[in-house]
Chains A and B, each alone.
Chain A
Amino acid sequence: MATLAAFFTVFTHPELFALVALGTFAGVYVGAIPGLSVTMAVSILISFTFSWDVMPAIALMIGIYMGGVYGGSRTAILLNIPGAPAAIATAIDGYPMAKRGQAGEAIGITTTMSFFGGFVGIIVLAVAAPFVSNFALTFQPRDYMLLAVLGLLLVGSLAGESLVKGIFCGALGLMLGTVGMDPLTFTQRFTFDLPLLQSGISFIAVMIGLFGVSEALSQLHHIDKTPVRQAISRIVPSFATIRKHLPLSLQTSALGVLIGALPGTGGDIAALMAYDHAKRVTRNPERAFGDGAIEGLVAPETANNAAVGGAFIPMMTLGIPGDAVTAIMIGALFIHGLNPGPMLMVEKPDMFWFIVGGLVLANFCMLLFGLTGIKLFVKIVEMPRAVLVPLIMLLSIVGAYAVNNSITDVYWMLGFGVFGYFLKLYGYPLGPIILGVILSRLLDDNWRRAIISERGSLPDFFLGLVSSPLSLTLFLAVLFIFFSQTPPWKRWRGRREALRAKADPARPAAATGSEGGR
């Protein structure tokens, strides 16, 4: 009974209700601007809400968080600039849809799927939090490393036509990620003794440059063409569409919750992995991936919103942040006199249910704010290019500056913008660069931790790899995904299909084995 009362707190108190709604609304826009991050917004709110009670403060933060994670998809679809790293995968198929005049439909799908993913995350948080957090704690450095390797294999999905160019870009990204002071040993890497390089290259600046500025420059090629008219008749996806993608969205949501719950990995990695998963399991997409496949929107958007619920799991059960935003919320709880930690759920279960309730409300608000105002938004894409291009540039510069209030980041951003433009021109995919930068730390840190823990012994490392069930599963997954894409395996698959087709003529053989290069 007390649980129910706590759960419904946000619904029965008008001011809390309003704060969640306001937060979600603001979050959608903060998330949509590249460079303005949810992390930043929430940390500003800490000072802003200092004198408030704990509940209104948390209510506002929850709203911003939920709205912000969703908001990143807006600019990804409309302008090909992901508002946040978690929306990179969304741009791959969302932007081609906008280019064809289906921006409204893309945003509609994205919104409903974010809502769906958000719900799965909340449900898992509500019913299985202790279970999931215990599972997350079984991940050793070795397992995080394998997860990063698994992530690196996504280069295949993101590479487009040429795998070699994809691998080149992925490697470049990995290298960019190592620049700066190594956070584990404070050794300088690739800094050439320049103070400017000491703190590394801000990967948000790289992302904004590669996607935003390079897009603006490419647009200049078509400066005199009239923009595509956007059809805005179909915004809310039909029930049939949702049902068709239900199995995929359930799988990618589950993936999102788990990746979100792991301390050290968040919505960005979850969304990319989900995209890869979609590409692997979807046999016959209506359109090819990269050309506006619905599945390419469903997967990352369910996963990154499911990761929100996931990130709260270790925070509420153990006091360990699931990502940067929950880390700040832990600070907020401290300031307001609560002691986040393993005892919080025992001593203050009401707080837990209050947060769950807040998330549910924020999720509904997100759906509402997401589906309204689309008509106005898609007008952005219909603007003449002479207006759109400067707008993208402005947005990129403001965004890059806002990350660290540093003009250096703006230079980096512009530099990578020009570089990205030429890469694009010569058919190099940009996605793998960002993938490399995101995974660089995860891979590097955890590989070193893993091998140091084994006192530098490679045999011991491999023994550990095969003796722990979790590591073994991840290791086999890496091997399977790798080898299943090699030519000998594909030939074998093809022969088997042909044989089966001969034995059972009713079953068409063409349905499998043609999924295309990873």
Chain B
Amino acid sequence: MKFAPFVAAAIAATLALSASPSQAQQYPTKEIQGVIQWGAGGSTDTVMRAVSPKAEDVLDQSIVLQNITGGVGAIALNKVASGKADGYTLLMGAENPLLYKVMGLGTKDYSDFVPIDILARGTGILVARPDAPFDDYKSMIAYVKAHPDEVKFGSTGPGGLPSVVTAMIESVEGKLPVTFVPYDGDGSALTALQSKAIDVMPAVLGAAIEGIKAGKMKPLAIIAKEPADQLPQVKPITDANQKFAKFLPWGPFFGIFAPKGTPKEAVAKLQDAFKQAANADSFKTLMKNRGFTLMNINGDEAQDFMTKWQQNTTWLLQDAGLTKASPETFGIPKP
């Protein structure tokens, strides 16, 4: 009907902007598909849509982004992994796949991929509603222990940031007698925090910054070894208990991946393009504003980062009793 010319025009305009004639038969010769694991408007989506235009300029090809959601991102991952490894389909994802195996969500993870770029890492923060009867991490723990099952923690299902942060706390402090109220994302959980439906929420820093600045949430501790630039007044959790140091730094991350077997030239070109794109000032500012730490790493460095991340996190979840299968089954050694 009427929309066909409109869409065609939009596509033509996108192509016209980015596709000047490329050199003879060198990768990339056609547009690249970017499959985003999470829905439109989420943080993964925002990050990928922000980094892609610059990479398009470098590659001199357009990158067509689509969101394929579901199965905690496993649907998108399986789709890309089972597609052609020719460098024309990329997976744009977050940290979750490293937990698929132990959580029983799938048999594939990032070990079936080559990292193109791990763009940035988030930092956790523990926030409470402004009128909560405690003001920092220590007094929260004391209050929780004195009032068993009374304090309501927000959670987002096993494997999410809240479950990992909670597992860290329980590994250090022993079992926490709190009530976990499940939400489908940290956005809706932080909304619930502001409407006092829950008392404490382990969230990603970026999602909480504005609320904290406006006094709508009370920061208890940053889940890191040093204070964050964006909120210098909030104490790191290691100030309260040094035992946290062995898990840190920890945080969810965003990365771009190509299926294993992608030609070396293509991987090298993509790595270069996304490295430049993530180095752009506008991207750096966006990451800072949203409370993410820029990483921009690839190759062995990225691989090492992921290996370490997977070891730490899967064993934390295993010890907290949240996994479906032991990391040992998949040859993930205890850190």
A-to-B contact residues, CB < 8 Å:
26, 29-30, 32-33, 36, 39-40, 42-44, 46-48, 50-51, 137-141, 180-181, 183-186, 195, 198-200, 263-264, 318-321, 324, 327-328, 330-331, 334-335, 337, 339-344, 391, 395, 404-406, 445, 448-449, 452-453, 455
User: Within 8 Å of chain A (Cβ to Cβ): is B321?
Assistant: no
Bound together, the chains give a CA A43 to CA B45 distance in angstroms of 9
Whether the pair A324, B289 counts as a contact (CB closer than 8 A) is no
Q: Which residues of B contact A327 (CB under 8 A)?
A: 40-42, 187
Per-residue CB contact flags for chain B residues 1-22 toward chain A (1 = under 8 Å, else 0) read 1110010001000100000000
Bound together, the chains give a CA A230 to CA B286 distance in angstroms of 54
Whether the pair A449, B181 counts as a contact (CB closer than 8 A) is yes
B-to-A contact residues, CB < 8 Å:
1-3, 6, 10, 14, 40-42, 45-46, 49-50, 52-53, 65-72, 74-75, 78, 103, 105, 149, 152, 157-159, 179-184, 187-188, 190-192, 194-198, 209-211, 213-214, 216, 282, 285-286, 289-290
Whether the pair A43, B72 counts as a contact (CB closer than 8 A) is no
Give chain B nearest CB distance to A449 CB in angstroms. Answer: 5
Whether the pair B181, A452 counts as a contact (CB closer than 8 A) is yes
Nearest-neighbor residue (CB-CB) of B198 within chain A:
A453
Bound together, the chains give a CA A344 to CA B211 distance in angstroms of 11
Whether the pair B40, A43 counts as a contact (CB closer than 8 A) is yes
Whether the pair A50, B182 counts as a contact (CB closer than 8 A) is no
Q: Which 9 A-B pairs have the closest CB atoms?
A: A341-B210, A199-B70, A342-B214, A43-B40, A184-B182, A327-B41, A328-B41, A331-B46, A183-B184
Q: Which residues of A contact B68 (CB under 8 A)?
A: 404-406
Bound together, the chains give a CA A287 to CA B57 distance in angstroms of 60
Give chain B nearest CB distance to A406 CB in angstroms. Answer: 8
Whether the pair A50, B50 counts as a contact (CB closer than 8 A) is yes
Whether the pair A335, B182 counts as a contact (CB closer than 8 A) is no
Whether the pair B289, A337 counts as a contact (CB closer than 8 A) is yes
The one of B72, B159, B182, B187 in contact with A321, judged by C-beta atoms closer than 8 angstroms, is: B187
Whether the pair B105, A186 counts as a contact (CB closer than 8 A) is yes
Whether the pair A46, B49 counts as a contact (CB closer than 8 A) is yes
Nearest-neighbor residue (CB-CB) of A344 within chain B:
B210
Give chain A nearest CB distance to B329 CB in angstroms. Answer: 19
Q: Which residues of B contact A33 (CB under 8 A)?
A: 1, 3
Bound together, the chains give a CA A51 to CA B216 distance in angstroms of 32
Q: Which residues of A contact B53 (CB under 8 A)?
A: 47, 50-51
Bound together, the chains give a CA A39 to CA B158 distance in angstroms of 28
Whether the pair A405, B66 counts as a contact (CB closer than 8 A) is yes
Nearest-neighbor residue (CB-CB) of A406 within chain B:
B68
Q: With A50-B49, A185-B158, A449-B197 known to touch, is A343 a contact of B70 (CB < 8 Å)?
A: no
Whether the pair A334, B157 counts as a contact (CB closer than 8 A) is no
Q: With A184-B183, A318-B216, A339-B209 known to touch, is A334 a contact of B290 (CB < 8 Å)?
A: yes
Give chain A nearest CB distance to B109 CB in angstroms. Answer: 15
Q: Which residues of A contact B210 (CB under 8 A)?
A: 319, 339-344
A-B contact pairs, 24 of them (CB 8 A): A29-B1, A29-B6, A43-B41, A43-B49, A47-B52, A50-B49, A141-B192, A263-B188, A318-B216, A320-B187, A320-B190, A321-B41, A328-B40, A335-B286, A337-B282, A339-B210, A340-B210, A342-B210, A343-B214, A449-B182, A449-B183, A449-B197, A453-B152, A455-B149
Bound together, the chains give a CA A50 to CA B49 distance in angstroms of 8
Q: With A335-B50, A341-B209 known to touch, is A47 a contact of B182 (CB < 8 Å)?
A: no
Bound together, the chains give a CA A33 to CA B1 distance in angstroms of 9
Bound together, the chains give a CA A448 to CA B197 distance in angstroms of 13
Bound together, the chains give a CA A213 to CA B254 distance in angstroms of 40
Interface contacts beyond A39-B41, A141-B192: sample of 4 additional A-B pairs, CB < 8 Å, sorted by A: A43-B45, A47-B52, A186-B105, A263-B188
Q: Which residues of A contact B179 (CB under 8 A)?
A: 452-453, 455
Whether the pair B211, A137 counts as a contact (CB closer than 8 A) is no
Q: Which residues of B contact A339 (CB under 8 A)?
A: 209-210, 289
Nearest-neighbor residue (CB-CB) of B46 within chain A:
A331
Whether the pair A199, B41 counts as a contact (CB closer than 8 A) is no
Whether the pair A137, B194 counts as a contact (CB closer than 8 A) is yes
Q: Which residues of A contact B45 (CB under 8 A)?
A: 43, 328, 331
The one of A181, A328, A448 in contact with B71, judged by C-beta atoms closer than 8 angstroms, is: A181
Whether the pair B3, A29 counts as a contact (CB closer than 8 A) is yes
Bound together, the chains give a CA A48 to CA B16 distance in angstroms of 12
Whether the pair B213, A343 counts as a contact (CB closer than 8 A) is yes
Q: Which of B70, B74, B159 has the most CB of A within 10 A?
A: B70
Bound together, the chains give a CA A232 to CA B320 distance in angstroms of 68
Give chain A nearest CB distance to B63 CB in angstroms. Answer: 8
Q: Which of B1, B41, B196, B286 has the most CB of A within 10 A?
A: B41
Give chain A nearest CB distance to B18 CB in angstroms. Answer: 11
Q: With A51-B53, A335-B50, A342-B216 known to touch, is A36 a contact of B187 (CB < 8 Å)?
A: no
Whether the pair B180, A186 counts as a contact (CB closer than 8 A) is no
Nearest-neighbor residue (CB-CB) of B150 within chain A:
A455
Whether the pair A335, B103 counts as a contact (CB closer than 8 A) is no
Q: Which residues of B contact A264 (CB under 8 A)?
A: 188
Bound together, the chains give a CA A29 to CA B10 distance in angstroms of 14
Q: With A47-B53, A321-B187, A339-B289 known to touch, is A198 a contact of B180 (CB < 8 Å)?
A: no
Give chain A nearest CB distance to B201 CB in angstroms. Answer: 13
